[in-house]
Structure 1
Amino acid sequence: MSLSLSRRALSATLAGLLVAPQVTAASDPLEAEAPFFEELPTVLSASRLPQALNEAPGAVTVLDRDFIRATGYRDLARVLRLVPGMQVGQERGHRHWVTYHGLSSDYPAELQVLIDGRSVYTPNTFGGADWSALPITLDEVERIEVVRGTNSNAYGANAFLGVINIITRHTSQDRGSSAAFNLGNRGIVDTRLTWTGGNESMGTRLSFASSRDQGFEHIYDKSDSQTVNLRTDYRLNGQDELTLRAGFNRSRRGQGYDDTLFDNNGLRTSSTDNSTVHLTWRRTLSEDEEWLLNFYNNHDNTREAWVASGLPALDILVPLNRNRSSDRTNLELQHRFALNDAARMVWGLETRRDMVHSPFLFMDGDPPTQYLYRAFSNLDWHLSKDWQLNLGGLLEKDGARVPQFSPRAFINWQVAQGHTLRAGYARAWQQSNTFNLYSSLRVYEPTTGTLVAWPYLPSHALRTPHVDTIEAGYLGRFRPLDTTVDVRLFRERIEDFMVRRTLVSPAGNLPLPLYTTQFVNLDTPVILNGVEYQIQTHPWAGGEIRFNHSLTQRNTTSTAVSQRTSPYTLSASWLQEYDGGWTTTVSVLRIGSLAGGDGYVPGYEYMSKPYTTADVRIAKRLHIGQNPAEISLNAINLGSRHQEIADRSEQVMHPEGPVNYAPRMVWLGLTMGL
């Protein structure tokens, strides 16, 4: 189906949706159904103000606890495949490429990822979020809010194309103990233990999780991860509450391939320790006024070393490593309040310090400590019963760069009860990650000190990319089949997009014929035009169907950049409850051709073919003694074998077929109270 044909079909569908409410808007029966239309979830992440979904400035997808549990997935990143516009792929089992509308490099940095408002975007050289090393367990998650669209006016740089906010459960929501176990093929062995206790004024949750598997077939892809988390909520009085969150994750993961060029991506095991401490003070003066003070520190440390064979004829063996560590400290003050009965406002101040250490990757010395300062504000103003205005802005000073302003303006119109149109504009700036700016990687033969390769040059002159987004949308609720429809039309124009280019080494010809590279800005804009929509309906008793579809038209002078975005994604999930405590979940995913980043070694082109895959879960609720329990059979990557993202240089060496098929993985799960 062509994009133009899909647009015509969508326009016809939208016209039908928008005409229908106008016919019944004045009827009394619809007014009687008001409670049905008020059941939309309240979201926090779009503007930092609690808002009903139809009042949010932009499109927001909410994945609640029940839905996440129903998927049976073992990791958070896979759940995000079921969000419209999200493009998620795996080069190996423990490495997730998570983007919104694609575009990104090997380490996606266009999405801000938060846990309870705490950024887990790592300044650790390459940037992005390390999804397999987050110090969180799935059982802690209350819901995930995905803001589908530019949101830098609320969360600053890296909320470039959107925000993923993972919100955990308050300790008052669960009391007691529980355990969960998974056992399956590909060496799957998972364990999770959780205890929650306390009284009316103080609650504590302690959880431990261990996850292990062999990952993808025929490559070195083992993964072994342990996570420990502590959360304490302490209510000091009727107004004040303190929350302490502390987490630690230790991961050991297989990396590389056994036949890469000069072993530049050779076999090795990476070891990552990731820890966080997050302290929140919340003063709630009334339903309409609250002060919030957040302090957190994230620290990660990775050890990843191997030996490159070099050129056998020259008898060169070169030790390589990507050992690195980083430390982020952040302090934020926020105040929300009501200006009057029709307007609410939130403002805040934030300061951050990032430190990175990696002697091999930054041979000219570690990057300077980066200091960031922000001031932000958002206004939610109900102009009338049916019209609502959202205005926001953020001023950000990042290191030595000039201050940057990120504005957003949105108007929401409730056409009829349960039917809302929205339109808006936003600008965002993207923070350059440390590696792009300061990488100065050179490779020396250890015995003679001879320079044999110069893979990276620093890029101090990089301009800061920015995006201007124009969007229009529709959110509607329909009484028949209890249906919700959310549509987003968008145009995202990115200036100074960063790419990695090859160039002649400053040292001339070197013994190892590897490219020298540098990050530069594209001189022409990258423009993404498209449409995405999600439909959630309950067509029969106990049944729920979710359908997501996105179409993206890519306009850029760079073919390599265009290939980083799939022209379409589609997912459909059917959740069903049966008598006797049985439940099933079936999810089908379809994604178009995708390059997935810029490649470990530049100069090689390869795109994975479009694929369709399915995931299935069958579960039964029961009791073991007096304790509630659930046993499940789970399977992912069913159907024909497929490849999601390839290591391009490795793939070019094997034209006979994909080097990293996504394997079928099947496991039995048991969850029970203790």
Structure 2
Amino acid sequence: MSPGTPSPRSPLVLALIFSPPLLADDLFLDSEPLPQVLTATRLKQSPAAVPGSMTVIDSALIHASGARDISELLRLVPGMMVGNISGNQAAVNYHGTNATEARRMQVLIDGRSVYRAGLATVDWSDIPVAMEDIERIEVFRGPNTVSYGANALMAVVNIITRRPADSHGTRIKVTRGQRGINDFYASQGVGWEDGDMRLSLSGQQDDGFDTNRTGADYHDSRRLDRFNLAASHSLDEQQSLDWQLNAKDGTNQRPYTYRPVFPGTTRAGDDSDVTAKDYAGSLRWNLDINPDHSLYIQGSAQHWDRQQTWRACDAEVSFSPQLTELWQLNPNYTERLARNITRFIGPGAPAGTTAEQALANQVLDQWRNGANQTVCGDIDQSTRESRYDLELQDTLSLADNLRLVSGMNYRYDRADSETYFNGTLDDTIWRVFGQFEWRASEHWLLQGGAMFEDTRLTGSSLTPRVAVNYLINPRHGLRAVYSEAIRSPDMFENNVNWSYQVTKLRPAAFGQSSARYFVKTRGPGDLNQEHMRSRELGYNGYFPDPGLALDVKLFHDEISGMISEPLRNNQYIASNGNKARFSGAETQLDWHVGSLDRLRLTYAYVDADASNPLDARQTARNSGSAGWLRDWGQGWNSALFYYGDDALNGYRFERVDARIAKRIALGKASLELAGVLQQRLDNQPTTFFDNNYDQRHVMYFSAELEL
């Protein structure tokens, strides 16, 4: 560990764990049931027995936060770096490494992955689940390839929705506020003798950021509508069926960012808005063979459709066959010629090989003969991705002190884009996994497991994890964990075939109304998997009398073979030549102070050292949150939250959120009126220079009716 990292022998941690007050019987012995989490190992476990660090954002926190987006809720997770690419694109990463995509974090909805393998991203704004339908979010803070395969390299976020059986009745909610906030939610839940169902419709709308770096209006608003149908059927005492249908339709504005390559080109174009459609369906069969043995089979299908067309202008010579051939021969030479072409009109081609100079002189002749005129055309940057997933999992208690979970998974991914893949690219993934939990004695718990994964595009891997938990008692445990994890390069990184077919050219370019732009990029095709080695020491405890839950984590993670170079069409340099190290400490405290108050604190210290400086810039050394929830009686309740980090991509972030609500009884129905104020305490852009608000505060109000 680096000198700035807290030592595992920290006196504070040792005093916290072993001081006499914490070992007193009156804090440990009680009859209150233990809380359970599932995401860590696929086995239900108490937090003290988990082989790693967990954060659970429960329904009370979700409701009290007033958050409109899942990404905003993740500010409550220690070590989670939450920023914005634009007003409708959030950027969420655990410990950092990438400002724009969640390439190293797995995101699940009820166990179904929503990570898009084609373009290596999670569309946080477009996840087809309403906040009001979420029961809790479980976050495993650390590598978990052993449970969920590649892309669970640094963390797993599992969004767990409310059971239809807990959703009976009618709920209607509307939210209005500044910055164009205009949301709605409506649901109807019903039940019958052997089943339950919930139908919900919801939508969101807001204006995004106000101004970009030049002070001009930032074109980044969003509008979306969602449909969710969830049902559960009991077939008999041992069998049940759960199924879901999800759909989302919306528009995300995108600012016009294209800059002509050739000098003197008249810049003109349309904003490149994205029409986003998502569809998903899943079916799960559960079988309880006996109290010690259960299994399930789950199948799901998903489709992501991103329609994006825009109009761009550049010089006619952009579509020269000779310039295209020169680019394929030497991209750097070609870009230097293109951006400085007027300098070479007189002296001729810049120094280079004989072949390069011959092609360059032909391009210069074309420029002299009129190919310097501006032409404009339409570009289709649409993408479509589909996924089909089938999983079998078996959970077995072999003895009172030994449990085993095992299973297999098959997944098929397909990406379709004329721009990024020149057609269609697909991949198949097979996984076999197994984990065990052995209670060697009253206090010692040994856990281990591994996953074997084989992908057609990148090959096979085996990732293990081993953990030792010392349970002081069932509610308090120390842990030592070693795990390895991998991330497979996605289709875009490894197999991109990137070029722009421009249609409806006006005027025609070299006599054609449709032509390919001269820049063409191919992925390397031979990238290896990224590999992480993680070491963790920690403590988790729950004190029932004061209602206090505490978790402390010391970590040291090393990633090798990282793919972190620029992935731009005119500068695509992908390799496994980078590495990074993350070490530090995290803690979270959740304290129910009596029956009326709840206090929640998180803090993370992360020391990042990366071979690529851009990776280190996406990590805040110090970050955290603080929250106070209060029930004032007479239907009144309030919540106050603070979120902060010292520097994400070089910009400080500090914000205070306040929510106050009043619940009014209307016979058997109830109405809740609430107001939320978000106040920035800093005066800096959010993550990127273009993300600016005219005012540092925003207010919005909601009314929710339950029947």
Same-fold status (TM-score > 0.5):
yes
> Which residue of 69, 84, 90 maps to 1:96?
90
- Listed as ranges, the gaps of 5+ residues in structure 2 are 211-216, 262-266, 317-371
Partner in structure 1 of residue 381 of structure 2: 322
SS in 2 for 1:525: strand
Partner in structure 1 of residue 404 of structure 2: 345
Q: Is the 8 A contact 1:576 1:584 kept in 2?
A: yes
For residues 122 and 219 of structure 1, the distance between their equivalents in structure 2, rounded to whole angstroms, comes to 27
State the one-letter code of the partner of 1:165. N
Show CA shifts across 1:479-534 (max 9, x none): 5642221011111111100022489xxxxxxxxxx833232212x53111111110
> Which residue of 464, 488, 510 maps to 2:553?
488
Q: Cα 1:203–1:135, aligned 2, differ >3 Å: closer, same or farther?
A: same
> Which residue of 651, 655, 658 maps to 1:616?
658
For residues 257 and 24 of structure 1, the distance between their equivalents in structure 2, rounded to whole angstroms, comes to 59
Q: Cα 1:640–1:338, aligned 2, differ >3 Å: closer, same or farther?
A: same
> Which residue of 262, 270, 276 maps to 2:274?
270
Partner in structure 2 of residue 34 of structure 1: 30
Show CA shifts across 1:389-422 (max 9, x none): 1111100001143320011001100235643100
Partner in structure 1 of residue 495 of structure 2: 438
For residues 563 and 22 of structure 2, the distance between their equivalents in structure 1, rounded to whole angstroms, comes to 50
Partner in structure 2 of residue 74 of structure 1: 68
Pair 1:664-2:697 in alignment = yes
Pair 1:542-2:596 in alignment = yes
For residues 25 and 639 of structure 2, the distance between their equivalents in structure 1, rounded to whole angstroms, comes to 38
Partner in structure 1 of residue 213 of structure 2: none
Q: Cα 1:72–1:261, aligned 2, differ >3 Å: closer, same or farther?
A: farther
Cα deviation, residue 456, structure 1: 3.5
For residues 660 and 277 of structure 1, the distance between their equivalents in structure 2, rounded to whole angstroms, comes to 38
Partner in structure 2 of residue 519 of structure 1: 574
Partner in structure 2 of residue 396 of structure 1: 453
SS in 2 for 1:34: coil
Q: Cα 1:391–1:423, aligned 2, differ >3 Å: closer, same or farther?
A: same
Partner in structure 1 of residue 583 of structure 2: 529
Q: Is the 8 A contact 1:226 1:251 kept in 2?
A: yes
For residues 344 and 327 of structure 1, the distance between their equivalents in structure 2, rounded to whole angstroms, comes to 35
Q: Cα 1:161–1:193, aligned 2, differ >3 Å: closer, same or farther?
A: same
SS in 2 for 1:159: coil
Q: Is the 8 A contact 2:488 2:528 kept in 1?
A: no
Cα deviation, residue 444, structure 1: 6.1
For residues 85 and 400 of structure 2, the distance between their equivalents in structure 1, rounded to whole angstroms, comes to 52
Q: Give 1:29-178 correspondences, 5 Å limit.
A: 29-30=26-27, 33-36=29-32, 38-39=33-34, 41-104=35-98, 106-123=100-117, 125-178=118-171
Q: Once structures 1 and 2 are overlaid, which stretch shifts more, 352-361 or 535-544?
A: 535-544
State the one-letter code of the partner of 1:374. R
Partner in structure 2 of residue 199 of structure 1: 192
Q: Cα 1:444–1:176, aligned 2, differ >3 Å: closer, same or farther?
A: closer
Q: Give 1:192-591 correspondences, 5 Å limit.
A: 192-217=185-210, 218-257=217-256, 267-310=271-314, 314-363=373-422, 365-367=423-425, 369-416=426-473, 418-443=475-500, 446=505, 447-448=509-510, 452-454=517-519, 456-478=521-543, 481-501=546-566, 515-522=570-577, 524-539=578-593, 541-591=595-645
State the one-letter code of the partner of 2:571. T
SS in 1 for 2:634: helix
Q: Cα 1:422–1:502, aligned 2, differ >3 Å: closer, same or farther?
A: closer
Structure 1 stretches of at least 4 aligned residues deviating more than 6 Å after TM superposition: 261-266
SS in 1 for 2:459: coil
Q: Is the 8 A contact 2:5 2:585 kept in 1?
A: no
Q: Cα 1:634–1:98, aligned 2, differ >3 Å: closer, same or farther?
A: same
SS in 1 for 2:100: coil
Q: Is the 8 A contact 2:432 2:452 kept in 1?
A: yes
Cα deviation, residue 442, structure 1: 2.6
State the one-letter code of the partner of 2:560. E
Q: Is the 8 A contact 2:419 2:501 kept in 1?
A: no
Q: Is the 8 A contact 2:546 2:593 kept in 1?
A: yes
For residues 69 and 106 of structure 1, the distance between their equivalents in structure 2, rounded to whole angstroms, comes to 28
SS in 1 for 2:498: coil
For residues 326 and 186 of structure 1, the distance between their equivalents in structure 2, rounded to whole angstroms, comes to 32
For residues 268 and 529 of structure 2, the distance between their equivalents in structure 1, rounded to whole angstroms, comes to 30
Q: Is the 8 A contact 1:476 1:484 kept in 2?
A: yes
SS in 1 for 2:116: coil
Cα deviation, residue 66, structure 1: 1.4
Q: Is the 8 A contact 2:536 2:554 kept in 1?
A: yes
SS in 2 for 1:18: helix
Q: Cα 1:45–1:189, aligned 2, differ >3 Å: closer, same or farther?
A: same
Q: TM-score normalized by structure 1?
A: 0.89
Q: Is the 8 A contact 2:5 2:607 kept in 1?
A: no
For residues 695 and 386 of structure 2, the distance between their equivalents in structure 1, rounded to whole angstroms, comes to 34
Cα deviation, residue 360, structure 1: 1.4
Q: Cα 1:237–1:9, aligned 2, differ >3 Å: closer, same or farther?
A: closer
Cα deviation, residue 573, structure 1: 1.1
Q: Is the 8 A contact 1:99 1:108 kept in 2?
A: yes
SS in 1 for 2:575: strand
Pair 1:635-2:672 in alignment = no
SS in 2 for 1:527: strand
Q: Of the two, which has the highest radius of gyration? A: 2
Show CA shifts across 1:228-281 (max 9, x none): 011111101000001110010001111124686667996221101100010000
Q: Is the 8 A contact 1:248 1:273 kept in 2?
A: yes
Q: Is the 8 A contact 2:5 2:584 kept in 1?
A: no
State the one-letter code of the partner of 1:587. F
For residues 676 and 260 of structure 2, the distance between their equivalents in structure 1, rounded to whole angstroms, comes to 38
Q: Is the 8 A contact 2:96 2:616 kept in 1?
A: no
Cα deviation, residue 310, structure 1: 2.8
For residues 686 and 694 of structure 2, the distance between their equivalents in structure 1, rounded to whole angstroms, comes to 8
Cα deviation, residue 440, structure 1: 2.1
SS in 2 for 1:69: helix
Task: Give RMSD over aligned pairs.
Answer: 2.5
Q: Is the 8 A contact 1:291 1:336 kept in 2?
A: yes
Q: Cα 1:662–1:435, aligned 2, differ >3 Å: closer, same or farther?
A: farther
- Listed as ranges, the gaps of 5+ residues in structure 1 are 504-513, 596-606, 652-657
SS in 1 for 2:647: coil
Cα deviation, residue 567, structure 1: 1.6
Pair 1:182-2:237 in alignment = no
State the one-letter code of the partner of 2:493. N
Q: TM-score normalized by structure 2?
A: 0.85
Show CA shifts across 1:532-572 (max 9, x none): 11011234551111111111111222212221222221111
SS in 1 for 2:648: coil
For residues 111 and 207 of structure 2, the distance between their equivalents in structure 1, rounded to whole angstroms, comes to 33
SS in 2 for 1:454: strand
Q: Cα 1:444–1:275, aligned 2, differ >3 Å: closer, same or farther?
A: closer
Q: Is the 8 A contact 2:309 2:380 kept in 1?
A: yes
SS in 1 for 2:314: coil
Cα deviation, residue 159, structure 1: 0.7
Q: Is the 8 A contact 1:529 1:553 kept in 2?
A: yes
For residues 623 and 10 of structure 1, the distance between their equivalents in structure 2, rounded to whole angstroms, comes to 54
For residues 48 and 121 of structure 2, the distance between their equivalents in structure 1, rounded to whole angstroms, comes to 30
